[in-house]
Amino acid sequence: MQFDKTVTARGQSFHLTGEVDPAFVKIADAFAENFAVEEEVGAATAVYVDGRKVADLWGGYRDSQFAKPWDKDTILCMMSVAKGISGITFNMMIDRGMVNPDQPVAKYWPEFAQNGKEGVLVRHVLDHTAGLPVVLDPLWPGAIFDCDAIVAALEKQAPMWTPGTVAAYHIHTQGNILGEIVRRLTGRRFRDVIQSELIGPLGGDYRIGNVFGADNARCAELLPTVAGTLLERRDSEPETLIAKGFTQHPKMPMPEILNGEGWRTAEIASANGHGTARSIARVYGAVSRGGSIDDVKLMSKSTIDAMITEQHNQVERMQQRPYHQGRGILLNTPVSVWMGPNARAFGHHGFGGSIGMGDPDAKIGFAYACNKLHTRGDNGPRARRIIEALYEVI
């Protein structure tokens, strides 16, 4: 059924619309409640259950001036939600026998075996234990937008500790390393492989960077809060690991970076995926029901089972938070990223509150995207409210 509601809060009127199955109307109610009681500006959410889309909702505004309505085709950078999409694509390549997670990275990328990295396995990159969470070479301001320069720096860099022993969230570098493995295997950029092998076949609207022209015009503005977040630590605590993760960023305020041409167009496969919530929900909707949806087969159930098998449960060193870590995706970790009541739920959240997740036991694919980024380290109350409503009705 059609959903259409206007919420008035904080001196603004937020028009919300979309479609929801009548049996799942609690999802729409929760989505609206976020605008009433939280700091929501613009957002979208979508849900698949056993291959069927049961909710597709959007509303609010895509800019800080409350002037541009969030439309059906509005796209948004969902930050590290991209890690889940990249991880799923990489596991598809494992499923096809193109790469073995138990082999050294250097088998596929010989130059990587410099400075003690010959023992880094592909699985260490997938589970954030490769010892390369940051690029130690300061390079130049804005080098983050040059994927090949980052790859060249990582190729020469020594691991910060023995690979496979210590988890540290590879905030940007995971996508660079996985992407170079893919390029060596296929001769193609990782973002192009993600598009052709995962997003395109599912009819999705999502891309790593590559936001130009008309896509740029429909892209929502990210509204980050700097005070009290990891973004503040970039400048206030320069010797911390988290600050070093931003060394190659331009020397400008974070809102300008995240809404600038460089961020929207570069290949940063761990962080700058732009798209719609319905596209992410459809990906997880397919993976959560054995790897297929409609006539599209992504990967086998056995590969999915291996992907969501816990690799470790450590307090990672980048942000000092625990993660149940899968092979290229996160597993349900309530204190850091809550994905409902089922322990086997998996996916990836993004800085500020967005999330994509699947649940193989309930056959759920879920996504939530927001442009007003929160200050919390976990995935926060807004996504949680909608997820709770979903589990109440399935």
- Does the pLDDT at position 236 exceed 80? no
HSE value, Cβ hemisphere, 13 Å, CA-based, for 315: 3
CA distances 60 to 127, 190, 211, 269, 323, Å, are 36, 33, 22, 28, 32
- pLDDT, one tens digit per residue, over 215-224 is 999 999 999 9
3-state secondary structure of 254: helix
Instruction: Identify the structural domains of the chain with CATH numbers, from first to last.
Output: 2-88+197-393 (3.40.710.10)
| Token pair listed for 174 | 């995971």
pLDDT average, residue stretch 134-142 = 95
- pLDDT, one tens digit per residue, over 275-329 is 999 999 999 999 999 999 999 999 999 999 999 999 999 999 998 999 999 999 9
Three-class DSSP labels, 87-129: HHHHHHHHHCCCCCCCCEHHHHCHHHCCCCCCCCEHHHHHCCC
All residues at 6 or more sequence positions from 305 whose CB lies less than 8 Å from its CB, including other chains: none
- Helix (H) or strand (E) holding 7, with range, is strand 2-9
Q: What pLDDT, on a 0 to 100 scale, did the predictor assign at position 234?
A: 67
Beta bridge partner(s), residue 369: 44
All residues at 6 or more sequence positions from 97 whose CB lies less than 8 Å from its CB, including other chains: none
Cα(212)–Cα(261) distance, rounded to whole angstroms?
A: 8
- pLDDT, one tens digit per residue, over 282-291 is 999 999 999 9
For all residues of the chain together, what is the average pLDDT? 96
3-state secondary structure of 277: helix
Q: What pLDDT, on a 0 to 100 scale, did the predictor assign at position 122?
A: 99
For residue 249, the 8-state DSSP code is S
- Helix (H) or strand (E) holding 258, with range, is helix 254-258
Distance of CA 43 to the CA centre of its chain: 16
Say if CB 208 and CB 268 are below 8 A apart.
yes
Say if CB 277 and CB 382 are below 8 A apart.
no
pLDDT average, residue stretch 68-86 = 98
Q: What is the CA radius of gyration of the chain?
A: 20
Handedness of CA 289, 290, 291, 295 (dihedral sign): negative
Confidence bin at 237 (pLDDT 50/70/90)? confident
| Token pair listed for 155 | 């190729």
- pLDDT, one tens digit per residue, over 111-122 is 999 999 999 999
For residue 22, the 8-state DSSP code is G
